[in-house]
Structure 1
Amino acid sequence: MMRTSQLPTTVLRRGLLAGAAVTATLVLSACGGSDHSSSGTGMNHGATTAASPAASAVGTFNDADVTFAQAMIPHHQQAVQMADMADGRAADAEVKQLAGKIQAAQQPEIDTMTGWLTAWGKPAPEPHMSMGSGTGHGSMPGMMTDADMAKLMDAKGAAFDKQFLTMMIAHHEGAIEMAQTEVAQGSNPEAKTLAQKIITDQQAEITTMKTILERL
């Protein structure tokens, strides 16, 4: 009688253990599947996102795009150098503000164009090449000579303000000419967009500088 009463208990216990094992297996399987799916999706998404900037940076480009970047970098570098001189030399508040605006706008553009040349496998100009036209950039429109830069550095107060504005107007006009060539002849969409931005921004700054110059 005792053996008969114990049998159902043993069977029941085994059944419960087996059921628990199956349940645990299903739960682990479901969790594992979920993690794999999520991880896989994340990896695929990450790969797509990482590939996009590289493809965009290289893109399609031609000789005009390369020339634009290689010429505009030192052109911008000289503008930034001229704007740097305003610190401690400029007297007019608007001139100081304009100089700060030029620095803030053109340095990031220099970095962007340098990145393009790297992506395209083309050499970027060295920073020390950005002074006057005596360093080989005399053919670029609006580029100041070493003598021009020295004259600006020696000026102070109202004399600096007038000299800075006169030089920067000519400098901007040269940049606009270069940018117009890129818009007409370039093929890289990002380079053409930046060229158009330079045209728009610097034309507006020329208008502002002429207004300031008239009242000085």
Structure 2
Amino acid sequence: MRSSAVALVLVALVAGCSGESDHGHAPPVGSASVVATASGPISTGPFNATDVQFATDMIPHHQQAVDMTTLAATHASSAEVKALAAKIRKEQEPEIATMSGWLMAWGEPVPSPGAMHHDSGDMGGMPGMLTDTELHQLGAATGPAFDKLFLTLMIKHHEGAVETATTAQSQGSAVKQLAGAIVTSQTAEIAEMKALLDKLP
């Protein structure tokens, strides 16, 4: 499976990096590193604190979107909503693998899948994250009610990602290309979701 292959490559990468330092310290900010993912090697180039924060925040943000799209496969009634959800999942799963690889190469901890899930309206540094209450409401909904709630919450979720990625584009280094791709794809998907929402009864 792809995830297994990525894991094996990342383990090998970390083992190789650890040989360069007796203490396994993270590469200093500004150093270059190469990360191998399912789609091939990606040179991260020089990186800074913004890059680390972006990947650390965006991984659980993406994972939450993947969780939402998983619900859509069985709870949605609209074929268009299901297709959009599948598209979002297809985009964001490889991006999670890429960002996880970067953090491992930089000697930074990779967030757990449930990181940043809160039951408060204050999400801290990463905008757009759904609360546990909102996730519970989404999981309990089915049919047209799910379609409407999914679109509403995913628009909010995407808007948070676009805000964070826009900042990374201007202040980051290694993540600029990925941040730009997220801004482009998710801005287009926000427009698509708003159009779908307008069509719902």
Please report the TM-score for the alignment, with normalisation by the length of structure 2: 0.76
Q: Which has the larger radius of gyration?
A: 1
After superposition, the C-alpha distances for 1:18-51 in whole angstroms (9 at most, x for unaligned) are xxxxxxxxxxxxxxxxxxxxxxxxxxxxxxxxxx
| 3-state secondary structure, aligned to 2:185 | helix
Unaligned runs of 5+ in 1: 1-51
Q: Equivalent residue for 1:168? A: 154
Cα distance, 1:127 vs structure 2: 1.5
| 3-state secondary structure, aligned to 1:133 | coil
Aligned residue pairs, count:
162
Out of 141, 147, 156, which is 1:155 matched to? 141
The answer on 1:77 being equivalent to 2:44 is no
Unaligned runs of 5+ in 2: 1-32, 36-40
CA distance in 2, matches of 1:70, 1:148: 22
CA distance in 1, matches of 2:60, 2:154: 15
CA distance in 1, matches of 2:193, 2:42: 36
After superposition, the C-alpha distances for 1:152-200 in whole angstroms (9 at most, x for unaligned) are 0000000000000000000000000000110010022xx1000000000
Amino acid at match of 2:66: V
Cα distance, 1:133 vs structure 2: 2.4
Amino acid at match of 1:206: I
Q: Equivalent residue for 1:133? A: 118
The answer on 1:59 being equivalent to 2:45 is yes
Q: Equivalent residue for 2:180? A: 196
CA distance in 2, matches of 1:146, 1:68: 22
CA distance in 1, matches of 2:82, 2:42: 36
Q: Residues 113-124 of structure 1 correspond to what in structure 2 (within 5 A)?
A: 113-124=99-110
Moved over 4 A (4+): 52-56
Amino acid at match of 1:72: M
Out of 170, 175, 187, which is 2:173 matched to? 187
CA distance in 2, matches of 1:110, 1:64: 17
CA distance in 2, matches of 1:146, 1:192: 30
CA distance in 2, matches of 1:83, 1:66: 26
Amino acid at match of 1:198: I
RMSD over aligned Cα atoms: 2.0
Cα distance, 1:211 vs structure 2: 0.5
- Whether the 8 Å contact between 1:87 and 1:96 is mirrored in structure 2 is yes
Q: Equivalent residue for 1:209? A: 193
- Whether the 8 Å contact between 1:57 and 1:116 is mirrored in structure 2 is no
Identity of aligned residues (%): 53
